[in-house]
């Protein structure tokens, strides 16, 4: 699935060593379907060449406001009129200062001043430069002027220092550009999500788990963030990166067992929507061994199980009413071998929740694709087979209408 189809992006590059990552960003934006028009400052060309950017984007690169290849000699007007957004990566301290003051002394700064489209900047600089009062003033002014700042991140810097000012990785910038274009239907809302499997220890090295990859829950977390929500993701053992981490709007709590997931989730129910996506083990081990169980001949050990708490049921029991609507609005998930609609709806009623989402198998576990059956008191609605992120976006829109 491409999330930037028909989007025209002007990719501005200013002079900073992080410019070596901008070709990768251009490729990621194009892979998502965007057309990319690069504009470079003079200093940027010391770090990456226009030839590289032209070869990657398939478009001639603009570097000067005096370029007479543009019909009316007004590249600064023409380029922004055609664009859905200007994305600058890296954004140097100098460029940010200029833009915050409305200065326009080269093509990129003139283009930004003359624009009638959103501007997103990924700052990149040494930590002292970032922390300098002047740069902080620029950042604050730009934010007040409606410019979206993507990062910066903290970490190892090209100059050898460690601290705030690193440009976000291209993947993180691309994710945020994609998020920028999504509908903001959950702005200011808090969303709690359980995702992934749980792991029930038998002894320190063995345990019982299931095939849940966590992909659906993580996709819902990303879609909720894209829609503007603050997200708390309670994740069982799965090896997935935290979505849109650099937004600072996601908290991730990693848990192992169902009991841990129950405790972490119940402590976070002060939210507007709860998605129970995790494949929680129904039974835990009554007395996990403290040491590895020895094989001791051929006899298999007898393992005693105990029922795990039902997280969704317990959250649903704590639901209050706010503005005549259930708060939090609880959404369960169901994977059934037979009669999906019937069994899922029974589950919805038994758990006392307004909505349940059936996974229409058979290839949901671990796959990037899924298809869903969304069931509430009014009936059911199928969301056709698609990538999990696309399904998650549709589900978020449905839920946003309910709250």
What residues are annotated to the active site?
Answer: 159
Nearer to ligand C5P by C-beta: 207 or 332? 332
Which range in 93-101, 105-113, 292-300, 329-337 contacts ligand C5P by CB under 6 A?
Answer: 329-337
Strands (E), 227-364: 230-235, 250-254, 273-276, 283-285, 305-307, 320-322, 325-327, 329-335, 355-359
Nearer to ligand C5P by C-beta: 260 or 310? 310
Which range in 76-84, 114-122, 126-134, 274-282 contacts ligand C5P by CB under 6 A?
Answer: 274-282
The structure tokens listed for 82 are 């055609």
Residue 273 touching ligand C5P (CB under 6 A): no
State the CB neighbour count (10 A cutoff) for residue 328. Answer: 24
Task: Give, as one character, the DSSP assignment of residue 279.
Answer: B
Cα–Cα distance measured from residue 115 to residue 109, given in angstroms and rounded to the nearest whole number:
10
Residue 36 touching ligand C5P (CB under 6 A): no
Q: How far is the CB of 311 from ligand C5P (least distance, A)?
A: 3
| Of the residues 29, 53, 255, 280, which one makes contact with ligand C5P according to CB under 6 A | 280
CA distances from 149 to 46, 110, 359 (A): 24, 19, 37
| Of the residues 79, 107, 273, 276, which one makes contact with ligand C5P according to CB under 6 A | 276
**Residue 202: exposure state from Cβ atoms within 10 A (0-12, 13-18, ≥19):** middle
Residue 278 touching ligand C5P (CB under 6 A): yes
Nearer to ligand C5P by C-beta: 203 or 310? 310
Residue 95 touching ligand C5P (CB under 6 A): no
Residue 340 touching ligand C5P (CB under 6 A): no
Residue 341 touching ligand C5P (CB under 6 A): no
Q: How far is the CB of 58 from ligand C5P (least distance, A)?
A: 46
Residue 244 touching ligand C5P (CB under 6 A): no
Q: How far is the CB of 265 from ligand C5P (least distance, A)?
A: 8
Residue 24 touching ligand C5P (CB under 6 A): no
Q: How far is the CB of 198 from ligand C5P (least distance, A)?
A: 8
Nearer to ligand C5P by C-beta: 155 or 352? 352
State the number of binding residues for ligand C5P (CB under 6 A): 14
Cα–Cα distance measured from residue 316 to residue 328, given in angstroms and rounded to the nearest whole number:
8
CB 7 within 8 A of CB 177: no
CB 196 within 8 A of CB 238: yes
Closest CA to 51 of 38, 67, 64: 38
The structure tokens listed for 120 are 């997103």
Residue 260 touching ligand C5P (CB under 6 A): no
CB 19 within 8 A of CB 38: no
Residue 168 touching ligand C5P (CB under 6 A): no
| Of the residues 90, 228, 332, 354, which one makes contact with ligand C5P according to CB under 6 A | 332
CB within 8 A of 339, min separation 6: which ones?
Answer: none
Residue 312 touching ligand C5P (CB under 6 A): yes
| Of the residues 15, 152, 333, 355, which one makes contact with ligand C5P according to CB under 6 A | 333
Residue 310 touching ligand C5P (CB under 6 A): yes
Nearer to ligand C5P by C-beta: 11 or 356? 356
Residue 216 touching ligand C5P (CB under 6 A): no
Cα–Cα distance measured from residue 323 to residue 325, given in angstroms and rounded to the nearest whole number:
5
Residue 39 touching ligand C5P (CB under 6 A): no
Closest CA to 252 of 236, 237, 235: 235
Residue 308 touching ligand C5P (CB under 6 A): yes
**Residue 307: exposure state from Cβ atoms within 10 A (0-12, 13-18, ≥19):** exposed
**Residue 239: exposure state from Cβ atoms within 10 A (0-12, 13-18, ≥19):** exposed
Classify strands 162-166 and 190-195 as parallel, antiparallel or unpaired: unpaired
Contact residues: ligand C5P, CB under 6 A? 194, 258, 276-278, 280, 308, 310-312, 332-334, 347
């Amino acid at each position: 699935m491409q999330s930037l189809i028909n989007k025209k992006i002007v990719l501005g590059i200013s002079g900073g060593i992080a410019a070596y990552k901008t070709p990768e960003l251009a490729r990621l934006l194009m892979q998502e379907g965007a057309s990319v028009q690069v504009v470079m400052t003079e200093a940027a060309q010391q770090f990456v060449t226009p030839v590289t950017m032209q070869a990657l984007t398939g478009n001639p690169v603009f570097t000067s406001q005096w370029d007479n290849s543009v019909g009316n000699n007004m590249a600064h007007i023409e380029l922004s009129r055609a664009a859905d957004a200007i994305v600058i990566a890296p954004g140097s301290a100098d460029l940010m200062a200029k833009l915050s003051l409305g200065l326009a002394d080269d093509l990129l700064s003139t283009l930004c001043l003359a624009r009638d489209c959103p501007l997103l900047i990924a700052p990149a600089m040494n930590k002292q430069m970032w922390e300098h009062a002047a740069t902080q003033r620029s950042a604050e002014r730009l934010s007040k002027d409606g410019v979206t700042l993507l990062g910066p991140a903290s970490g190892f810097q090209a100059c050898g220092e460690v601290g705030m000012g690193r440009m976000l990785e291209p993947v993180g910038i691309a994710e945020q550009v994609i998020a920028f274009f999504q509908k903001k239907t959950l702005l200011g809302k808090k969303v709690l999500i359980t995702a992934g499997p749980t792991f029930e220890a038998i002894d320190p090295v063995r345990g019982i788990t299931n095939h849940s990859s966590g992909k659906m829950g993580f996709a819902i977390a990303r879609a909720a963030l894209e829609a503007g929500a603050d997200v708390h993701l309670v994740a069982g053992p799965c090896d997935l990166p935290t979505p849109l981490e650099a937004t600072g709007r996601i908290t991730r709590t990693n848990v192992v067992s169902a009991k841990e997931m129950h405790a972490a989730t119940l402590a976070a129910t002060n939210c507007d929507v709860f998605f129970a996506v995790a494949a929680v083990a129904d039974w835990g081990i009554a007395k996990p061994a403290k040491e590895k169980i020895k094989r001791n001949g051929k006899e298999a050990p007898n393992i005693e199980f105990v029922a795990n708490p039902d997280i969704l049921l317990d959250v649903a029991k704590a639901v209050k009413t706010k503005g005549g609507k259930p708060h939090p609005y609880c959404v369960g998930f169901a994977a059934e071998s037979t009669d999906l609609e019937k069994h899922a709806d029974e589950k919805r009623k038994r758990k006392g929740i307004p909505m349940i989402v059936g996974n229409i198998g058979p290839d949901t576990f671990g796959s990037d694709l899924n298809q869903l059956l969304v069931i509430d008191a009014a009936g059911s609605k199928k969301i056709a087979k698609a990538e999990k992120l696309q399904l998650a976006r549709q589900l978020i829109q449905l839920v946003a209408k309910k709250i």
